[in-house]
Amino acid sequence: MDGERLFCDTALAARIEQAEARFVAACSDAARTRRGDATGFARPLGGGVASFAEADSPFNKVAGLGFAGPPEDLDEVEDAFAELGAPVQVELCHLADPTVGTFLTARGYRLESYENVLGRRLGGPVEAAGGEVRPCRADELETWLSAVAGASMVTDTEGLPSHEDFTPEIIVNALRDMAGVRRYTAERNGEFAGGASFRVTDGIAQFAGAATMPAHRRRGIQTALLRTRLAEATAAGCDVAIVTTLPGSKSQQNAQRQGFDLLYARAILVKGTSATSSSGADSRQAS
């Protein structure tokens, strides 16, 4: 119903981007803890965060920028990325301060891609999920990580192609480093059919790490995972659920069928040699 549609103003966009920045920082910290060394960083920048987790990680980026004006210490951040042999990649919400985009392009940042952010208002009843979806058990985490990583590498052919290219190891690491997420397993005919997760940040449910095994696609697996997480997020007290997808993808279509509205796009702006991974939409999407 129109009254239940989620309109995104600049205040909501800033709230979502702040949640994203906190998520990126937490994942970056988790990556360094896993590796047991201090190489890398997660530092405040212009109201957001600049993060380097490890080589080729989807958490190597600047997130949450654009709601506090142009960043004053970008020189230091660019130098820090350069010392680690990585480009600087900025996710810039199109509802952010336009002067930030002008500032970045004047410094040599180029537009490389887009990702879409969709949201749904929570608080009402959620239609029961079909199929068998349950929380991932601690003793099956490695199986979950491997299966979801493998499934996410078999990309959908609809919509804009991803400009990213992850190795299986990097995907597993990124999924493992998703700090504070709740993971779910979907089964079909007694087989692992798909997995997904979400994280709660300041009342926002950030849906992430979703993938369906190729043999079980077009069987309602992602719909079941979405509905389960909607119900769990509502029970957790969240008022908004967010998913990030590639533009025009099957993931976006699935989300919109479940009542998600397209809130805004993020422009992926890059300075330096193009990396093999950027925004991590594949690892966060509702594919």
**Which residues have a Cβ under 8 Å from the Cβ of 80 and sit 6 or more positions away?**
41, 43, 50, 52
pLDDT at 283 over 50: no
pLDDT computed for residue 285 by the predictor = 45
Among residues 173, 194, 219, 200, which one has the least CA distance to residue 286? 194
Q: What is the pTM of this model?
A: 0.89
Question: Averaged over 145-152, what is the pLDDT?
Answer: 88
- Of the candidate ranges 12-21, 34-43, 63-72, 207-216, the one whose mean pLDDT is the lowest: 207-216
In the chain, the percentage of residues whose pLDDT exceeds 90 is 69
Question: How far, in Å, CA of 50 to CA of 80, rounded?
Answer: 10
CA distances from 196 to 75, 80, 84, 105, 151 (A): 37, 33, 31, 36, 11
Tokens coding 147:
């299966």
- More confident position, 46 or 5: 46
CA distances from 233 to 20, 193, 200, 204, 221 (A): 17, 22, 8, 8, 18
pLDDT computed for residue 278 by the predictor = 40
Question: Averaged over 99-122, what is the pLDDT?
Answer: 96
pLDDT computed for residue 155 by the predictor = 64
